[in-house]
């Protein structure tokens, strides 16, 4: 038995829809042959795969990051505008591919409009110049009679796109990044860029390039950039063959968030910054199998438990985490997989779907009283260097909860990481009572209802149910290795 105590009156933070964000990079078959396939019977006349659009739409992404990732650090956006047949092909250095440039800025922004999702563009601070970055911003947002705004109009877009979110480079600390630099060099360069970009369009929001959250790079960048940017970004990937490492390693994100908040608050206090930057977790996922070429990771259900835990962590940290981007969305380390004939989903799709569909206005306090896991940790954490053993002992259930603005609904997401045993969860509301049945959706591995659409892609199975609460308490069963969403009306 595990007791999940929820205090609907104790708000942890307002949930930003951008926490249910995505990321698509020119990499493997994410764009070409993924969300974009010219001439396919499954595509519309712009080349957008309709089956992929349908699956993405369900995820209600608040924001979509593009075009990279590592790819952006030698991407020249001007190659990707104008008549498609006149666009140059270029070698790209991040993944060793060839970029046809047939999907460029106008295509990406049309795609975001189609999805009803806010675009988020990452700037090239590798081979790119500040002049190019300013031209890109002018192309997207320019309202006056100027060269690049007029180029946009010539290409069919009369109104400014009003792209608000811009990132100052991607992972500029990494030796895998074209044009990588030291933290001090980054602060000097990004400061020049930030000032000029905000001169051109004061309405934009800028994202400084962070690392893991607790790194010396983060400290230097936050101290140098916090007065100029709206978000500090951090990235995390986890995952391992070992079951416990795989399902519990996402808790490393909590350490990262705490450390980044510490750096931000320290700097804000010292420099008297009124509106310190928030955290953008602008790449996160399970990723440890396919590290090169197309990143065609095949996910299992334990990976979905990790993804559900990540999202719970972001919800619990809603006061600071105001954007998070699942890396990535299609084919490359992605919930959606395509072939020329079909598109299907991997197990990690389901926690993203249920979280995005259920999350309400405010994240509220949750406490889990339950049996603690006692994993046998392997000597090595596997692909990623994150040991989480020191983060405390973990309960088998991980939980997050949110309430509507009028406090008339609650949504609770529960991950049961116990590999073998079901658990009885008793959800108890403080000062509130349930005002109707609790609707329950539970996802587990496999299941007979959904045939495997692609032979190498695992499925998951969702069941709908209902429980009758008594006062402020409702009791339900969580199968081993399951992700569960509980939704109900509440009253004071």
Q: Which residues are catalytic?
A: 171, 283
Interface with ligand AHR (CB under 6 A), residue total: 9
Single out the residue of 8, 28, 47, 69 in contact with ligand AHR (rule: CB under 6 A). Answer: 69
- Which one, 284 or 394, has the nearer CB to ligand AHR? 284
Residue 230 interacts with ligand AHR (CB under 6 A)?
no
Residue 482 interacts with ligand AHR (CB under 6 A)?
no
H runs (alpha helix) in 4-104? 50-58
Give the closest residue to 26 by CA, choosing from 110, 89, 117, 113.
Answer: 89
Q: Which stretch binds ligand AHR (CB under 6 A): 65-73, 226-234, 256-264, 352-360?
A: 65-73
268-297: contacts with ligand AHR (CB under 6 A): 283
- Which one, 92 or 423, has the nearer CB to ligand AHR? 92
Residue 215 interacts with ligand AHR (CB under 6 A)?
no
Residue nearest to ligand AHR (CB): 69
CB of 285 to ligand AHR, least distance (A): 8
Residue 170 interacts with ligand AHR (CB under 6 A)?
yes
Residue 142 interacts with ligand AHR (CB under 6 A)?
no
User: What CA–CA distance (Å, rounded) separates 36 from 53?
Assistant: 10
Give the closest residue to 333 by CA, choosing from 343, 319, 348.
Answer: 348
CB burial string 194-203: b at 16+ within 10 A, e below: beebbeebee
Residue 252 interacts with ligand AHR (CB under 6 A)?
no
Query: ∠ at Cα 212 (211, 213), nearest 5°?
Result: 100
Residue 119 interacts with ligand AHR (CB under 6 A)?
no
Strands 21-23 and 321-327: parallel
- Which one, 107 or 171, has the nearer CB to ligand AHR? 171
User: What CA–CA distance (Å, rounded) separates 111 from 105?
Assistant: 10
Give me the half-sphere count of Cα atoms (radius 13 Å) on the Cβ side of residue 241.
Answer: 7
CA dihedral 478, 480, 482, 488 (to 10 degrees): 0
Residue 327 interacts with ligand AHR (CB under 6 A)?
yes
Single out the residue of 2, 18, 43, 70 in contact with ligand AHR (rule: CB under 6 A). Answer: 70
H runs (alpha helix) in 85-143? 105-115, 130-141
- Which one, 201 or 218, has the nearer CB to ligand AHR? 218
Residue 47 interacts with ligand AHR (CB under 6 A)?
no
- Which one, 91 or 448, has the nearer CB to ligand AHR? 91
CB of 408 to ligand AHR, least distance (A): 39
Give the closest residue to 366 by CA, choosing from 310, 434, 418, 316.
Answer: 316
Q: Which stretch binds ligand AHR (CB under 6 A): 64-72, 133-141, 225-233, 394-402?
A: 64-72
Measured CA to CA in angstroms, residue 198 lies from 191, 202, 368, 489 at distances of 11, 4, 44, 44
Residue 25 interacts with ligand AHR (CB under 6 A)?
yes
Residue 328 interacts with ligand AHR (CB under 6 A)?
yes
User: What CA–CA distance (Å, rounded) separates 148 from 175?
Assistant: 33
Residue 68 interacts with ligand AHR (CB under 6 A)?
yes
Residue 171 interacts with ligand AHR (CB under 6 A)?
yes
H runs (alpha helix) in 332-448? 349-358
Please report, as ranges, the residues that interact with ligand AHR according to CB under 6 A: 25, 68-70, 170-171, 283, 327-328
């Amino acid at each position: 038995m595990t007791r999940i105590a929820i205090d609907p009156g104790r708000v942890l933070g307002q949930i930003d829809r951008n926490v249910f964000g995505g990321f698509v990079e020119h990499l493997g078959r994410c764009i070409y042959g993924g969300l974009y396939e010219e001439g396919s019977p499954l595509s519309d006349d712009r080349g957008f795969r309709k089956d992929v659009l349908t699956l993405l739409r369900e995820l209600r992404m608040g924001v979509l990051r593009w075009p990279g990732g590592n790819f952006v650090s030698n991407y020249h956006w001007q190659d990707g505008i104008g008549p498609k047949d006149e666009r140059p092909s270029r070698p790209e250095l991040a993944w060793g591919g060839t970029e046809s440039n047939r999907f460029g800025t106008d295509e990406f922004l049309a795609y975001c409009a189609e999805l009803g999702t806010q675009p988020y563009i990452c700037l090239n601070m590798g081979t790119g110049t500040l002049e190019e970055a300013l031209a890109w911003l002018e192309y997207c947002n320019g309202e006056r009679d100027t060269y690049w705004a007029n180029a946009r109009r010539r290409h069919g877009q009369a109104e400014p796109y009003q792209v608000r979110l811009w990132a100052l480079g991607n992972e500029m600390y990494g030796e895998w990044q074209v044009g990588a630099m030291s933290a001090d060099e980054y602060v000097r360069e990004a400061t020049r860029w930030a000032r000029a970009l905000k001169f051109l369009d004061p309405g934009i929001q800028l994202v400084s390039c962070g690392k893991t959250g607790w790194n010396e790079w983060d400290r230097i960048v936050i101290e140098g950039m916090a007065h100029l940017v709206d978000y500090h970004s951090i990235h995390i990937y986890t995952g391992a063959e070992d079951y416990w490492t795989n399902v519990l390693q996402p808790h490393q994100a909590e350490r990262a968030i705490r450390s980044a908040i510490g750096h931000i608050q320290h700097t804000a206090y010292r420099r008297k910054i009124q509106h310190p930057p928030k955290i953008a977790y602008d790449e996160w996922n399970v990723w440890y199998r396919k590290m090169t070429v197309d990143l065609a990771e095949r996910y299992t259900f334990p990976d979905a438990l990790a993804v559900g835990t990540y999202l719970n962590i972001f919800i619990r940290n809603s006061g600071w985490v105001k954007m998070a981007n699942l890396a990535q969305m299609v084919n490359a380390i992605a919930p959606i997989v395509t072939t020329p004939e079909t598109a299907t989903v991997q197990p990690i799709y389901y926690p993203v779907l249920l979280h995005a569909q259920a999350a309400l206005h405010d994240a509220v306090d949750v406490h889990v009283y339950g049996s603690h896991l006692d994993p046998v940790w392997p000597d090595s954490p596997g692909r990623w260097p994150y040991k989480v053993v020191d983060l405390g002992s973990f309960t088998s259930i991980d939980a997050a909860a949110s309430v509507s603005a009028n406090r008339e609904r609650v949504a609770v997401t529960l991950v049961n990481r116990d590999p073998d045993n079901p658990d009885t969860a008793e959800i108890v509301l403080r000062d509130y009572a349930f005002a109707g049945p609790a609707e329950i959706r539970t996802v587990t591995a496999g299941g007979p209802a959904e045939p495997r659409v692609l032979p190498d892609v695992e499925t998951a199975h969702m069941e709908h149910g209902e429980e009758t609460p008594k006062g402020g308490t409702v009791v339900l069963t969580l199968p081993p290795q399951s992700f569960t969403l509980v939704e109900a009306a509440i009253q004071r």
